[in-house]
A and B are shown apart, each in its own frame.
Chain A
Amino acid sequence: MIRAGAVALALVLAGCHGDALRGDVRELVIGTEGAYPPWNFTRADGSLGGFEPEYLRDLCARLHRRCRMVAMDWDGMIGALQTGKIDLIADAVQITPERAGVLAFGRPYALTTGVIATLRGSPLARLGDDGVTMDLDGKGPAFAAMTDRLRKGLAGKVIGVELSGAFDTFLTQTFADRAGPGVSIRYYRTMGERDLDLLNGRIDATLEDESYIRPLLATRDGAALVMAGPRMIGGSMGRGEALAFRPGDPGLRAQFDRVIGDTLADGTVRRLGLKWFRIDAAPGAVRR
């Protein structure tokens, strides 16, 4: 026991010594949720898989840095970043105005849209504006007409959504507490429970990221679902996904921005997007 302790102490001291010598090259700790497939998820053996673990491995290799990814709940992730428990966040963090105050976003590595998913036979499947990109920061008569069509199409329906995500924010702000035949929103703690209720018909539709819905449609149960209506972006849904750093850490952000640029240019992001999301999720690939 004492010998094991001595060995451990020696290793720790050696580690400190090594770090002190190499200065900047200590291990980077990356926070992720490990529960947002296909972006990141925890396998049965406890290891992390998905788009981000694979992508960050690539980025760290390009930076010649040792990186370790740790899974934690989204609630505590920004706090862990601020207190230095982790060095950056890779968790499909949407670049939204509210978050820009506390986080320093890197260069976006993905740009995905929100979409409505419903059962194949549902009247919502014929919502209109299919596949048209709808910018929620938009203005003007065309945008107003589109919003109106969406609101009329969803009137009286039950929409399920994961609690406290960006889509929850959008639905709650847009449809809650409105007079007339409004949309009723049902909140779910996990996406799995929401998907079950969507498939068994308890809810009429859900609003979710296209990167989540597409792989779901390819599963045996998910084949009963279709995507409907416009692809939504901007507003409370944000403009793309990026790594999040401490605002006081611009050096690390600049390093990552450089290699992210490389992976966007050489097709790595496109390849990983097609592998995990079945779409090219790279920013700039979206039809505008």
Chain B
Amino acid sequence: MPEAPPDEAPALHVEEIDVTYGRALSALRSVSLTVPHGGVVALLGANGAGKTTLLRAVSGTLRLHRGAVTAGRIRYGDTVLDGRDPVAAVRAGVVQVPEGRRVFAGLSVDENLRAGGLGLTRRAPAQTRRARDRVLTLFPRLAERPHQAAGLLSGGEQQMLAIGRALMASPRLLLLDEPSLGLAPLMVDRIAQVVREINAQGTAVLLVEQNAGMALSLADHAHVLEVGEVRLSGPAAELARTDAVRRLYLGETTDGQGAA
């Protein structure tokens, strides 16, 4: 792909943020992480650990859930993202694929893809076409059925459409929220392969997953969230070897510790 990486290499810096919902419910406490340019970072944790909340804080959709970043800072390169609206994130090159796919079910595949480019109103048509070609090369299935209602696609196809839709905004950092959720193992492998390809094309990825095996195989770095705090972090390969991660997220019972 000729999509040349930009000269400067912006990284996402999440610096000690606190997030509170409804001014009372604390969801994240002093969470920090960095996604370097072109890197893949995995964020693991159980339901309710705050993974989605972190993505919302970055993409600017906390407000839709009556949440707010009450301390700390989120920067993407020179752009401050905390407290901004989703348009700011999209324009800065940070786009989120929501959990559960959330394709526009009544709209056609083609319209869903066009919707993905809505945030970049001043973009030249040629750039939109390039983004589109990239998506259709990545997902030939979508090119086969541009007029089909998105709601009638299979789960895996919907996940591809959701990712393709986000790629239409030509992000430099893609936020993926549980892309493997509810998919068959074969499709999970396919999604993992797609994430690898997208990353190889120069897009950084912040991957939120409960499927730790998949996430750790893709990521350079990983963080484990537990009840709103980062409990563990380190290189993905190292984390995959730690007992805690193996026990809690990879479903293994290590001898001797299994009964504890």
> Does A pair with B?
no
